[in-house]
Amino acid sequence: MNWIRLALASLWNRRITALLTLGMVALSLSLLLTVDRVREDTRASFSNTLSGTDLIVGGRTGSLNLLLYSVFRIGNATNNISWESYADLRRNSAVAWTVPLSLGDSHRGYRVIGTTTDYFDHYQYGRNQPLSFHSGVPFDDVYDVVLGSEVAQALDYELGDALVVAHGLGTTSFENHDDKPFTVVGILNPTGTPLDRSLHVPLEGITAMHVDWQRGVKLPGYSVSAEEARTMDLSPDSVTAVLVGMKSRVQTFAFQRLINQYRAEPLSAIIPGATLQELWQLIGIAENALIAVSFMVVVTGLLGMVTVILAGLNERRREIAILRALGARPGHILGLLMLESGFYGLAGLVAGLLLHWSLIALASPWVQAGYGIELSLTLPSPTLLVVLSGFVVLAFLAGLLPGWKAYRQSLSDGLTATT
């Protein structure tokens, strides 16, 4: 006990060096902790976004691309599915339900999704959790809109508010569908998925917005008012993607083959889970590189710490000689230095954890808003905990090097160190 007190007092005497060393160790550890947390939470967030959907069908495109734009609202569709093809696949006897998605418009940076009320019945996230309404009801009228929780919160919308959809994506758009405002009829509960940042309107609403448009531009001299549009045929020509639920999972592969070989139109069908695996493999390379760099930074911190202790040893010859004169064994001296380096490891870990948590707490709202990824304030993953306890053990063991040097030094100096 007395030795620990002495070691701490001695460390306190060198507190500026000690604090900087501690900061180095803590910073290196918090980097590792944060990289791992972001990795875990990104994975969780991606895996939680969609469940219960057996297939995603879209125009012929890469499977990753289809997954990213249909589910994660990242990137854009290159091809659409014609309404006829959609109707055809919906008729297939193996299909239990379909949810068509029409993408391409936005509202103040949030994406607008044209769909049917089936969306609210069949879309599931996390562990097969269905969507639920915080307030209001699913859309019914052509100009109804249902908001994701974050949209409602960030833009301060309530039921009954009117909003205007912009043509195309992006936070600012010069082309607004301002002649056809939508009314908020429902607000969803938070899901922690990109869905929170989406607005949902009926497919007919999307069509109505575009009746006086052609190929992405408003037709000059031709305009149809919102009320006039109601009287027109608003069934869409095409949709961007379709979520498909099978009656039996066994049929998924056969149906996927069928779609991929569809003759009337080139289509792609993907199994979300399998494509997500592809995504992990791709991201895994970058992830591993990041983790490897973080590990190297931690090792650098450890080496720096040993260097600091070793460099200070010469100045401490006096201190060691005094302790020897008072009866300290050479083993005590070795232990004292191991205690010091272990202290750096342990206190560095605690400080690193605190730093990591404050970083996550600071960055979390911003990351949530910008990327829809929920960073969690929790303990490190079990694997990382093993690594971290290994680090603390290593920190103690690293004290063997300066400890051994001090041991040799104290034996040769005896009680007559003159430095």
Partner 1 sequence: MADALSIESLAFRWPKQQHNTLSIDSLLLPAGSSLFVRGPSGSGKSTLLNLLAGVLVPTEGLIRVLDQPLSQQSGKARDRFRADHIGYIFQQFNLLPYLSVIDNVMLPCRLSRRRLEKALSEAESLTAAAADRLSRLNIPESLWQQRVSALSVGQQQRVAAARGLMGLPELVIADEPTSALDQDNVDNFMDVLTGQCQALGSALVFVSHDRHLARWFDQELVLESEAQAQNKSESVS
Tell me how far CA of residue 207 lies from CA of 88, 153, 161, 266, in angstroms. Answer: 20, 27, 21, 23
Would you count residue 330 as binding partner 1 (CB under 8 A)? yes
Q: Considering beta carbons, is residue 165 or 321 the nearer one to partner 1?
A: 321
C-alpha to C-alpha distance for 358 and 337, rounded to whole angstroms: 31
CB nearer to partner 1: pick between 231 and 412 = 412
Q: In this complex, which beta carbon is closest to partner 1, that of residue 2 or of residue 231?
A: 2
Measured between alpha carbons, how far is residue 99 from residues 21, 87, 172, 289, 416 in Å? 57, 11, 29, 38, 86
326 binds partner 1 (CB under 8 A): yes
Cα 260–264–265 angle (5° rounding)? 60
**Minimum separation from the CB atom of position 400 to partner 1 (A):** 19
Distance CA 278, CA 106 (A): 29
Whichever of 299 and 322 has its CB closer to partner 1, that residue is 322
Which lies closer to partner 1 via its Cβ, residue 248 or residue 412? 412
Among 90, 257, 318, 408, binds partner 1 (CB under 8 A): 318
> Binding string to partner 1 for residues 4 to 33, with x set by CB under 8 A, is what?
--x--xx-xx--------------------
Shortest Cβ distance from residue 407 to partner 1 (Å)? 12
Among 16, 264, 285, 415, binds partner 1 (CB under 8 A): 415
> How many CB atoms sit inside 10 A of residue 242's CB?
25
Q: How far is the CB of 342 from partner 1 (least distance, A)?
A: 19
Q: Are 146 and 107 in contact (CB under 8 A)?
A: no
Question: How many amino acids of this chain bind partner 1 (CB under 8 A)?
Answer: 22
Q: Per-residue b/e over 317-354, b at no fewer than 16 CB within 10 Å?
A: bebbbebbeeebebebbbbbbbbbbbbbbebbbebbbe
Residue in 172, 248, 281, 416 binding partner 1, rule: CB under 8 A = 416
Q: Which residues pair with 125 in a beta bridge?
A: 129
What SS3 state is found at 162?
strand
Q: Using CB under 8 A, which of 118, 265, 278, 319 touches partner 1?
A: 319
Candidate segments 105-113, 209-217, 240-248, 321-329, binder of partner 1 by CB under 8 A: 321-329
Question: Which one of 160, 220, 221, 327 is in contact with partner 1 (CB under 8 A)?
Answer: 327
Nearer to partner 1, 6 or 271 (CB): 6
Given 96, 325, 354, 393, the residue binding partner 1 (CB under 8 A): 325
Residue with tokens 């006897």: 93
Q: Of 2 and 281, which has the nearer Cβ to partner 1?
A: 2
Q: Which of 202, 135, 116 is nearest to 165 (CA)?
A: 202
What is the DSSP code (8-state) at residue 219? P
Contact positions toward partner 1, by CB under 8 A?
Answer: 2, 6, 9-10, 12-13, 318-319, 321-322, 324-331, 414-416, 418
